Amino acid sequence: MNEFSPSKILKSLPTQFFATLVSKVEKVKAEGHDVINLGQGNPDQPTPPHIVKALQEAAEKPVNHKYSPFRGFPYLKEAIADFYKREFGVSVDPNKEVAVLFGGKAGLVEIPQCILDPGDVVLVPDPGYPDYWSGIALAQANMKMMPLKEENRFLPDFNALSPDVSEKAKLMFLNYPNNPTGATANVEFFHDTVTFAKQHNICVVHDFAYGAIGFEGKKPVSFLQAEGAKDVGIEIYTLSKTYNMAGWRVAFAIGNRSVIEHINLIQDHLYVSLFGAVQEAACAALLQSQDCVDKLVRMYESRRNTFINGLQEIGWDVDAPQGSFFAWLKVPYGYTSESFADLLLTKAHVAVAPGIGFGNNGEGFVRVGLLTSEERLKEAVERISKLELFSSSHKC
């Protein structure tokens, strides 16, 4: 049988970080160990029943057995506009400022291919979501990292970028609440972002995947709430986290008209829109009662408090995340992020994601997903405690 070589572009794609992590976890599980897997970002709760019911009823409609309109049904885009007006006070034109996506990841990977030419420069958060890198590789563009430092609340410092990089940049990725750090941004930061983007003619893509998940009564801020944001960029919102619809693959981009048109155009060539029943279910999620979202956020906050308090009690000096369902934890003295993650997996059978997988500035941290029950989180703390890493003889 002939073996055909992959293209140069395919060879240029980064290693799928999470696939490597999964293989390590599966190896330990195959040895018969009970692994508490806190290393991934897959929501553990079911989709709310009223959304499932909407899908079931819509699946019986013959209109949904045909191809959907290429750019999505108008009713879904109108629901998205209503959702943003209600939740964030942001007004958008559903016909020209909304694009339906096959999950947030698809949009994030498509964007660089829509507006960049080979060799163009993209500003990328470090640490950050690794799939930003994939779209940049497919566009044959160049990444320039924006360090996210603890001392700057894990926000990029635009003034620290070299003037040459700022002038060459055409695209910037941001993500708050942040994966992996759990940090949040305020509207003043987004005002500064708009000013910087206008000054250098940069398109901003704000990944708002965790836009519903803020703690201590603080609702996450939308980039589009900053004056002039639609002039310079877009926001990508997924239903995966807000409504536990990760497997449904439904999201949307919203904002700058030219960028939205570019996304719609590339998708005209890649897809024939989402299954109509999924679009109807998405409408139910966005427009019906949001009690399920409030309950979900309370659950994540309770898990956060249980886990972080437990770690602090065993002597691990950690900070609580402000948003998302991740915690970003400093590794103990003497370990790298990967060696510490391997230790937890092999000795405590607790899986976490090493920070280096999210960029060079992720070194020294591990990411934990709060995506299991409080009982399992408590058990994870107990297992880690038995390693005696945080006694007075160790420094964190």
What would the pLDDT profile of 102-111 be if each residue is shown by its tens digit? 999 999 999 9
Looking at 139-275, list the stretches that DSSP marks H as alpha helix, in order from N- to C-terminal side. 163-168, 187-200, 229-232, 239-242, 257-270
Domain enclosing residue 15, as ranges: 8-46+291-385
Residue 228 and residue 105 in one domain: yes
pLDDT tens digits for 238-263? Answer: 999 999 999 999 999 999 999 999 99
396 part of a folded domain: no
Q: How far apart are CA 39 and CA 106, in angstroms?
A: 22
Looking at residue 29, which CATH number applies to its domain?
A: 3.90.1150.10
Residue 174 and residue 70 in one domain: yes
pLDDT tens digits for 2-58? Answer: 899 989 989 888 877 777 888 899 999 999 999 999 998 899 999 999 999 999 999
Q: How far apart are CA 367 and CA 127, in angstroms?
A: 11
Residue 57 and residue 85 in one domain: yes
391 part of a folded domain: no
Residue 24 and residue 172 in one domain: no
Angle at which helices 276-287 and 74-88 cross, to 10°: 20
Residue 41 and residue 151 in one domain: no
- Out of 266, 287, 308, pick the residue that ends a domain: 287
Residue 58 and residue 157 in one domain: yes
Residue 14 and residue 63 in one domain: no
- Out of 235, 266, 287, pick the residue that ends a domain: 287
Query: Which pLDDT belongs to residue 393?
Result: 45
1 part of a folded domain: no
Tell me the average pLDDT across 65-72: 94
pTM of the entire structure? 0.95
188 part of a folded domain: yes
Longest CA–CA span in the chain (Å) reads 68
Residue 118 and residue 244 in one domain: yes
Residue carrying structure tokens 């926001």 = 235
Give the residue among 155, 144, 154 at the shortest CA–CA distance from 192.
Answer: 155
